[in-house]
């Protein structure tokens, strides 16, 4: 045997993918996944659990939210309104104060979720038919909580003033109401709603499970000692990568179906956009997350480390992706981080498609950015794969 130029031979050899070997790894992972019942169960139960938890929070009218009333005028009408607020189970009046700064401070510090402000001369102007304003400022940094209760305050006001508007004031008890309810959402002007959250939740669920599962793909082999045997065979890094990640596409697909069904039947969210575009996007997104997890597993030395790194990825995925806070309202550096993680692009795509009826052309930019992220992650993972035990 004459191996005169081993260097020249090495590179092509590394990349001559054998689909038979890929299939071998794929099959093995599939069997192991099937035998690992608890993990498998969690992967299926997680989307249901999260949706139900979130759905519960969204569906249920929030009650007993603390409110501070800034009362600049004390009269029969305003007292009646205050009494109705007190009687209502939606809000709990924690303080009544004539001072604007004190009320403001309570809202800012979070001791109150609402600030209900009745201005000076309210009654007089109401009687004159000038439609005075009741100002409601909501701390919408907890948008789910704030959103539901705002509607409640409107109806409380209606009911509170109705019995007072009898007799000589009867003429006022007709639409439109003789006052104006002005609502300010503070800290989160976008005001996220259920329609906004459920499609986005698909992104969060897929990120969590896909990254978490693949992040231990290699570390598990290392910890169980099976890596040594695997590396002693002629299997190539690319083959391990493909074979180890593809079984989880199936898991991702099941999760997508679950979320879509819950979104449609439980939350009645209309799917307005192009379904093929959605399929392409969700497939790319699943791949990108699998690669992200796989990259982690090439970096971590133990399963414990892999888990910690996974949570390190979750933080920006939730905080900087536009899931929690409006993306455009974030500072530049935070947006830059957001742009580099898969979920940010997926959230935009899925909201565009599901809620705004978008098709391929509308999501093209985010789609190729997602593809770019996928390629970069895969390349990094392959570079990081240790072909020896060093």
Q: Can you give the binding site for another protein, defined by CB under 8 A?
A: 1, 3, 6-7, 9-10, 13-14, 18, 20-21, 23-25, 27-28, 31-32, 35-36, 224-229, 231-236, 387-390
Coil, helix or strand at residue 218: helix
Closer to another protein at the Cβ: 1 or 175?
1
Closer to another protein at the Cβ: 9 or 372?
9
Closer to another protein at the Cβ: 28 or 63?
28
Closer to another protein at the Cβ: 224 or 356?
224
Q: In this structure, what are the phi and psi dihedrals at residue 300, rounded to the nearest 5 degrees?
A: -80, 150
The overall longest dimension of the chain from CA atoms, in Å, is 112
Closer to another protein at the Cβ: 3 or 315?
3
Closest distance to another protein from the beta carbon of 300 (Å)? 20
Closest distance to another protein from the beta carbon of 228 (Å)? 5
Closest distance to another protein from the beta carbon of 286 (Å)? 25
Closest distance to another protein from the beta carbon of 33 (Å)? 10
**Contact, 290 vs 245, CB < 8 A?**
yes
Closest distance to another protein from the beta carbon of 226 (Å)? 5
Cα Rg of the chain (Å, integer): 28
Q: Which residues does residue 134 pair with via DSSP β-bridges, in sequence order?
A: 181
Closest distance to another protein from the beta carbon of 23 (Å)? 7
Round to whole Å and give the CA distance between 316 and 278.
23
Strands 114-118 and 65-71: parallel
Query: 298 is written with which tokens?
Result: 């090439």
Residue (of 104, 33, 32) closest to 68 by Cα position = 104
User: Distance from CA of residue 202 to its chain's centroid?
Assistant: 8
Round to whole Å and give the CA distance between 87 and 110.
22
Closer to another protein at the Cβ: 109 or 233?
233
């Amino acid at each position: 045997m004459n191996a005169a130029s081993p260097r020249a031979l090495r590179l092509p050899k590394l990349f001559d993918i054998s689909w038979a070997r890929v299939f071998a790894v794929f099959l093995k992972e599939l069997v192991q996944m099937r035998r690992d019942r608890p993990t498998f169960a969690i992967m299926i139960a997680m989307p249901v659990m999260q949706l139900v938890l979130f759905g519960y929070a969204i569906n249920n009218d929030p009650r007993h939210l603390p409110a501070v009333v800034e009362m600049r005028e004390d009269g029969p009408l305003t007292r009646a309104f205050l009494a109705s607020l007190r009687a209502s189970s939606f809000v709990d009046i924690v303080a009544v104060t004539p001072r604007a700064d004190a009320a403001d401070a309570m809202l800012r510090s979070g001791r109150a979720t609402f600030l209900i402000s009745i201005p000076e001369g309210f009654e007089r102007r109401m009687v004159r038919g000038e439609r005075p304003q009741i100002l409601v400022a909501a701390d919408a940094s907890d948008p789910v909580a704030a959103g539901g209760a705002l509607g409640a305050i409107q109806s409380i006001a209606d009911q509170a003033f109705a019995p007072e508007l009898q007799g000589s004031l009867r003429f006022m008890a007709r639409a439109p109401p003789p006052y104006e309810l002005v609502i300010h959402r503070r800290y989160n002007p976008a005001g996220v709603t259920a329609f906004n959250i459920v499609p986005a939740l698909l992104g969060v669920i897929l990120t969590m499970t896909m990254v978490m599962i693949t992040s231990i793909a290699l570390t598990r082999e290392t910890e169980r000692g099976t890596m040594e045997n695997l590396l002693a065979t002629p299997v190539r890094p690319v083959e391990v990568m493909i074979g180890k990640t593809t079984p989880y596409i199936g898991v991702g697909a099941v999760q997508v179906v679950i979320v879509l069904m819950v979104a449609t039947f439980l939350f009645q969210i209309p799917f307005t956009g192009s379904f093929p575009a959605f399929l392409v996007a969700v497939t790319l997104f699943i791949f990108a997350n699998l690669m992200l997890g796989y990259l982690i597993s090439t970096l971590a030395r133990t399963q414990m480390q892999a888990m910690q790194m996974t949570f390190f990825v979750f933080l920006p995925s939730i905080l900087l992706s536009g899931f929690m806070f409006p993306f455009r309202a974030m500072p530049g550096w935070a947006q830059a981080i957001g742009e580099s993680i898969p979920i940010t692009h997926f959230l935009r795509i899925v909201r565009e498609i599901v809620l705004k009826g978008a098709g391929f052309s509308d999501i093209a930019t985010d789609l190729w950015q997602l593809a770019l992220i996928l390629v970069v992650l895969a390349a990094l993972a392959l570079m990081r794969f240790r072909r020896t035990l060093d």
